[in-house]
Amino acid sequence: MALLLGILVYLAWQMYVGRHVLASLDVEWRPIDLVVSFVLAALAYQSLFGAWLLMLRRTALFERRYLRRYVRIWWVSYMYRYVPGKLLLLVERARLGADAGIPYGIGAAMPALETLLAVAAGCAVSLLAAAYYGNGAYTWVLPVAVVPGIAVLLVPAACRWIMRRPAVTRRYPQLASVNLRTHDILVLLIPYVAHYVLLGLAFFLFARGIHPMPWSAMPGLCGIFALSHVAGIIVLIAPGGIGVREGALAVQLQKLVPGSIAGALAIGIRLWFTLAELVCFSVAYIYGRRPLEAPTAKEANKVP
């Protein structure tokens, strides 16, 4: 936590030192840019929820009558990522999922798989940052490009290996349904890639109201945002990536804008996206409290 606080203090210090630059800023947010940015951010988070629904379908656990409950389960557990270690996210997903017919073992395993997919998709989208760094990107592009390939090739093999362990099969026999294949991983990566692209575009629309930027800069900004996002995911002690994501983003933005503006953009986009999360969470929580729909004929005749 000391490291995270140190990063935030550094960003605040950068903004203080460059306060004259911030004071001279001519912020020109166009209402249409802010509205579109907010909508894109909301859609980005729905992409993650959609990826979870795809996993439920792949494991034959999805039931349409539980859709409202699924919405509430995912959003309530997702907000627990702001607890350091993200352990409560896993616990709550499994606990709440049990009320919707999701076996505890599968409910607990899915967040770990989601994290791997998020890192792989983030690394894939971060390759767009090569346009931002130009020739300076060659030192990191190859190692980052390897991560999605490893995920696609090794995750299915790792799932099969885990499923064959006697200790696992005896204690959690339901995990046998999480036997993902390569094409399953490729399909599941699509909504995660969409998540980063939508957030990157939302960030660009937000940022150009503070500092003029051409549309040609959008792919590069999308890439550096994805790279910063991945850094926040990897550092598990950072609640919701706070501090790590802002620090990584601010450092990269200094290639484009002064340090004070970079820090303000990094903190500002965190607050903007957090607002989008809170609005989505509130709507999902209210929507999820409504009564369950009656089961369809297929679900009613489903053999347990």
Q: Where are the alpha helices (DSSP H) in 127-165?
A: 130-133, 138-163
**12-41 exposure pattern, b = at least 16 Cβ within 10 A, e = fewer:** eebbeebeeebeeeeeeeeeebeeebbebb
Residue 55 has pLDDT above 80, yes or no: yes
Measured at the alpha carbon of residue 112, what is the angle toward residues 90 and 281, in degrees to the nearest 5? 50
CB distance 123 to 144 below 8 Å: yes
Q: What is the pLDDT of residues 103-127, one digit of tens each?
A: 887 888 888 888 888 988 998 999 8
143-182 confidence digits (pLDDT tens): 777 777 777 777 777 777 776 677 766 777 767 667 777 8
The length of the chain is 304
Provide the token pair at 105: 């073992």
Q: With CA atoms as reference, report the closest residue to 186 among 159, 148, 234.
A: 148
Domain ranges for the chain: 30-291
**pLDDT of residue 304 exceeding 50:** no
Q: What angle do CA 63, 66, 69 make, to 5 degrees?
A: 145
- Helices 138-163, 182-207: axis angle to 10 degrees equals 140
The DSSP result for 48-67, as a single string, is: HHHHHHHHHHHTT---GGGH
Alpha-carbon distance of 112 to 107, in angstroms, equals 10
| DSSP conformation letters of 182-208 | HHHHHHHHHHHHHHHHHHHHHHHHHHT
Whether the per-residue pLDDT at 192 is higher than 60: the answer is: yes
Q: What is the pLDDT of residue 293?
A: 53
pLDDT digits (tens, 9 = 90+) for 87-97: 788 888 888 88
Token pair of 127 as six digits: 């390759």
Q: Which tokens go with 162? A: 């885990």
- Other C-beta atoms within 10 Å of 294: how many? 8
**pTM of this structure:** 0.86
- 295 has a pLDDT exceeding 70: no
Q: Distance between CA atoms of 269 and 147, rounded to whole angstroms?
A: 26
